[in-house]
Structure 1
């Protein structure tokens, strides 16, 4: 796959595809282009019978810094319908990765903030470098981690999510592992080896059975569609609040 501006997609002869976030100068902060490209990549790889597993990776020191500042300025200027439409596109991208009928393995080499936590949450397996930090910082801007909320809460459970969902504080891999957000940590120079170990295990399985098993996991005890609708409305409410307008204006004005 080619023609992308914010990501790279490569598929090996063994059927292991790698989707690499490729905006290192912006710490892979997500914008409309990246959201669209990740959505397209998920659909294309999901429909490719030759692909057995997908690795989600990033270049540079950060995994994903959340939302791009220019993208946030565009949302701030949009009306309520525009804000909800853009949140819907982000939700659709995350839902596409979440429902990918192949195992999705996150190679988390650096810090993860905001929407980046959503990318980790929709991965089936997340392997992180020792010492990285994660955070949901939306409440500092008067917003809420709404669009990623259904996926993060589904992954961590309410008990763990309530410890980090609204504090805005960073947390480390020890907490992330206990919460089920991260599955394994290792020195950064061992990430490729650990990721490859999980990918090799997938190659020993029957692809149809893997897709069916993953779909079953996602179907049991959830109403993702309703959760997404609720979270998008909650985010639009916060965007329109005086509190958020004041804080976001100060934040973006200083950007």
Structure 2
């Protein structure tokens, strides 16, 4: 566990990490310190080649209630350039999470407002409870969801983003599933069981292949069928086939045995 004031970074011996937002007394609301610590935590995770994937969760009753009120009050008293510095730091967090090489899974319960919805959108996948509450609440207080907007559009589409960013309506986990923001929903009482099921599923997969797949999907995100895209994809499959885990996976499949990365006990 790392020495953070607003976060906890836990490493599971099975080869994944859980990044906990840990300001439960403030409903895990963002402030400048939490944003800085999130950036540092992601740097730590990115440099650890032993990790297979990352979970992002919130301690207490809520995933994250958005921006901390005291921090927002301080921001209102700052000049343009200082606010720009704050926005750039938030941008570094969101873009860093979006570009992280290992797979990311957000686990959402309670509230996920404002910037929290950005965190969820930046993750590769997200699961949550049916009664979780989501909101792009910025226009209610005279602001806009500026830094997170590209990632929200990617997650739920332009039309839905227009609706929820301009209306500031709240929507629940079931609606988030329909929009594509969540991958899976469950009752609150079933959340821990569902998390473990997802962990077990991810542990079945080749760590190197998941990282390579994430890089591949970033390259083909726009669905272009250009000559350059074709060459990239052809090279991608050739590289992974001759890699150590690629060779092990193919041999294990043909020999009808468990591949080496599944050899460790998958139960906690």
Contact 2:131–2:188 under 8 Å retained in 1 = no
Q: TM-score, normalised by structure 1?
A: 0.83
Q: Which residue of 1 aligns with 2:263?
A: none
Give SS of 2:76's match.
Answer: helix
Q: Shift in Å at residue 221 of structure 1?
A: 4.8
Task: Provide the aligned length of Structure 1 versus Structure 2.
Answer: 222
Q: Shift in Å at residue 174 of structure 1?
A: 2.5
Q: Runs ≥4 in structure 1, deviation > 4 angstroms?
A: none
User: Are 1:7 and 2:12 matched, yes or no?
Assistant: no
Per-residue CA deviation, residues 203-229 of structure 1 (Å, 9 max, x unaligned), is: 22222221122123233457xxxxxxx
Task: Map residues 169-184 of structure 1 onto 2, 5 A cutoff.
Answer: 169-184=169-184
Q: TM-score, normalised by structure 2?
A: 0.79
Within 2, Cα distance between the matches of 1:214 and 1:60? 31
Give SS of 1:144's match.
Answer: coil
Within 2, Cα distance between the matches of 1:159 and 1:204? 36
Per-residue CA deviation, residues 154-197 of structure 1 (Å, 9 max, x unaligned), is: 11110221121110111112221121111111112221222222
Which one has more relative contact order, counting CA pairs under 8 Å at least 6 apart? Answer: 1
Contact 1:128–1:173 under 8 Å retained in 2 = yes
Contact 1:105–1:195 under 8 Å retained in 2 = no
Q: Which residue of 1 aligns with 2:112?
A: 112
List gaps (5 residues or longer) in structure 2: 223-268
Q: Which residue of 2 aligns with 1:85?
A: 85
Q: Which residue of 1 aligns with 2:65?
A: 65
Select the structure of larger CA radius of gyration.
2
List gaps (5 residues or longer) in structure 1: 223-255
Contact 2:121–2:155 under 8 Å retained in 1 = yes
Name the Cα RMSD after superposition.
1.4
Contact 2:109–2:131 under 8 Å retained in 1 = no
Task: Map residues 144-159 of structure 1 onto 2, 5 A cutoff.
Answer: 144-159=144-159
Q: Shift in Å at residue 202 of structure 1?
A: 2.1
Within 2, Cα distance between the matches of 1:124 and 1:195? 15
